[in-house]
Structure 1
Amino acid sequence: MRALTMGLAVLGPLLVMTAMPLPARAESCDDLWYARNEIYKAQGYCFRTRRGIEAFGNAGCRYDNADEVPLSAAQRRTIADIQREERARRCPR
């Protein structure tokens, strides 16, 4: 929760590229889910779930396995922060 109150902007396409910290204005579990998966989409992940495909599509995707997506250390930290917050909020998986 502390990370959400740091006054940071919600991740956008530019921020995804630079791997900014957890979005400050994440109002819901849906916001957290979107911010996390936006990072994966920007790096070429091929979504498998209906929700992911509907939100992001799979045009131009290159990686079927999330573990193979080339993420920077900063992006990995951001994803871990988001996942921590999702657990704290008991967001559905």
Structure 2
Amino acid sequence: MKKVSLVACVGIVMTATATDAPAAAQSCWELWYERNHRYAVNGFCFSTDLGKRTFSEFDCWTKNPDLTRAEQARIDVIRAEEKRRSCKVN
């Protein structure tokens, strides 16, 4: 029983850590995806073909999604890293 609990806890920690990995540790594609996924789950309507194809399973209803402070802060970190690397995914 203790082994199961420990494994479950480790899985939760690994999931949380992977979600907010340092932006510098991700590829340009991963940065683009994470940033835009945060918009997609908040109803953003993409105008590019890549955005539309990648996030077609999400409903869209706005060009100005309401983001939490944490979401906006993470997006700001990602954008800064994309700029630093001169990423050109889309």
Structures share fold, TM-score greater than 0.5: yes
Give the 4+ runs in structure 1 shifted more than 4 A: 20-25
* 2:36 maps to 1:37: yes
**Whose helix fraction is larger, Structure 1's or Structure 2's?**
2
Gaps in structure 1 of 5+ consecutive residues: 1-7, 12-19
How many residues align? The count is: 73
Deviation at 1:76, TM superposition (A): 0.5
Deviations 1:27-51 (A, max 9, x none): x111100000000001010111001
The 8 Å contact of residues 47 and 58 in structure 1, kept in 2 or not, is answered as no
Deviations 1:60-89 (A, max 9, x none): 2110x2xx2100111000000000000111
Deviation at 1:25, TM superposition (A): 4.3
Aligned to 1:15: none
- The alignment's TM-score, normalised by the length of structure 1, stands at 0.68
* Matching residue within 79, 82, 90 for 1:83: 79
What RMSD over aligned residues (CA atoms) do the two structures have, in Å?
A: 2.0
Query: Which AA in structure 2 matches 1:75?
Result: E
